[in-house]
Amino acid sequence: MFHAEKHQCRRFEKKVWLSSPTMHGPELTYMKEAYDTNWMSTVGRNVDEVEKLAAEYIGVKYAVALSAGTASLHLAMKLAGIEAYGVPKVGHGCLENKKVFASDVTFDASVNPIVYEGGTPVFIDTERDSWNMDPIALEKAFEIYPDVKIVVLAHLYGTPAKMDELMAVITRHNAILIEDAAESMGATYKGIQTGAFGKFNTVSFNGNKIITGSAGGCFLTNDAEAANKVRKWSTQARENAPWYQHEELGYNYRMSNVIAGVVRGQFPYLREHISRKKVIYERYKEGLKDLPVSMNPIPEECEPNYWLSCILIDNNAMCKQVRGENDVCYVREKGKSCPTEILEALGSINAEGRPIWKPMHMQPIYRVNPFVVCDGNGRARSNAYIKGSAVDVGMDIFDRGLCLPSDNKMTEEEQDRIIEVVKGCFD
């Protein structure tokens, strides 16, 4: 067990968070504007402005402000499902008996909407250059499941996936791409914003994202009809009639004008947040360079938003760590460490780290779902026995990686102390 005192590390009086909201002032002005003008519902100037700002920034024609990124992913999934398979009968999902390809190392909000619509996620393994969906495994997945029509892709921790390679595969197989840019808002791949590649895309304004509304998200598209559908579905799917007339299933997914005030106030600070996160990443990289660890990788031609700084411990510097379903133990070893030890050490000084997202194919809820990996010889496997084995890249990153405290408001002194504590774990 790591001892903070042994390393002469005092606890932070104020917790250093993984990534907490960073407010600037204008948020309150716009919230108050909603209050003062009594536009306290889901209609108003703030909602309009958020949609304008998001569409302009990301470079798409339409943005629809919603209550959460998850709500946007759900409606994106509905649009894709209906486009691929037609309108389902009332009471049925649009993806019943259908498979959808999905990122494996991600937050489960990326993939749950597939199941909301009755579909089955097929998880695609991760590549090591960006920790995102492996284009070779995706190609193999289309060989194994040629009927699949939809791909959901997340950009992990703010680093864009290999879009050229992935788009080539997706286009070749005539599939619909849904981009989950919840973590990567403001990141670019060859100068193009994440959230502008897919047909139906999502950003999130959840409390720990790069900018926040406390909650909220935007649906993004270049398709006017899709944007109109999402606007209609998200406000209970009313028809144009003098009374409440309904031809389609509706949802209560629209963003509140008060929340939109927060998002609107945050938007001008997006660049600043990204610069600050980048400094944090660079300082970790420099501070940890003598340790047997590497930072989360950044491929060429990508500019991440540096949402979270992560490290991966070298194979030969991993002490023994055994993770069960809900608990873990490890054996302390000189010169070595493991994510559990480092997370405990961070906790002991009142700093918040986090394990890498546990791969979806290892989650009890999705354990029976297919998982497609590439074994390094370009051969794909889709087998239960492969799960957790040497060719399972996602599981390897989960085993050896962790997210470091990446809060914008962390001071240099605080970060230096965190760096010392990480170093201490390898003593």
Ligand X SMILES: *Cc1c(COP(=O)(O)O)cnc(C)c1O
Is 105 an interacting residue with respect to ligand X (CB under 6 A)? Answer: no
If the CB atoms of residues 211 and 343 are measured against ligand X, the closer one turns out to be 211
Phi, psi of 291 (to 5 degrees): -90, 160
Which range in 25-33, 65-73, 186-194, 387-395 contacts ligand X by CB under 6 A? 65-73
- The least CB distance from residue 208 to ligand X, in Å, is 8
Is 110 an interacting residue with respect to ligand X (CB under 6 A)? Answer: yes
User: Residue 34 is which amino acid?
Assistant: A
Beta strands in 200-287 (DSSP E): 200-204, 217-221
Q: Is 225 exposed, middle or buried (0-12, 13-18, 19+ CB in 10 A)?
A: exposed
Is 396 an interacting residue with respect to ligand X (CB under 6 A)? Answer: no
| Residue window 184-223: x/- pattern of binding to ligand X, with contact defined by CB under 6 A | --------------------x-x----------x------
The answer to whether the beta carbons of residues 253 and 218 sit under 8 Å apart is no
Number of residues that bind ligand X (CB under 6 A): 14
- The least CB distance from residue 354 to ligand X, in Å, is 12
- The least CB distance from residue 177 to ligand X, in Å, is 15
Is 107 an interacting residue with respect to ligand X (CB under 6 A)? Answer: yes
Is 19 an interacting residue with respect to ligand X (CB under 6 A)? Answer: no
Is 154 an interacting residue with respect to ligand X (CB under 6 A)? Answer: yes
Phi, psi of 303 (to 5 degrees): -120, 100
Is 159 an interacting residue with respect to ligand X (CB under 6 A)? Answer: no
Strands 380-381 and 371-374: antiparallel
Is 69 an interacting residue with respect to ligand X (CB under 6 A)? Answer: yes
Residues 19, 42, 46, 106: which binds ligand X (CB under 6 A)? 106
Residue corresponding to tokens 């993004």: 220
Compute the distance between CA of residue 271 and CA of residue 357 in angstroms, rounded to an integer. Answer: 26
Q: Kindly tell me the sign of the dihedral angle through the C-alpha atoms of 361, 362, 365, 367.
A: positive
Compute the distance between CA of residue 325 and CA of residue 363 in angstroms, rounded to an integer. Answer: 9
Q: Which residues face 48 on adjacent strands?
A: none
Residues 68, 163, 196, 259: which binds ligand X (CB under 6 A)? 68
Contacts with ligand X, residue ranges (CB under 6 A):
68-70, 106-107, 109-110, 154, 180, 182-183, 204, 206, 217
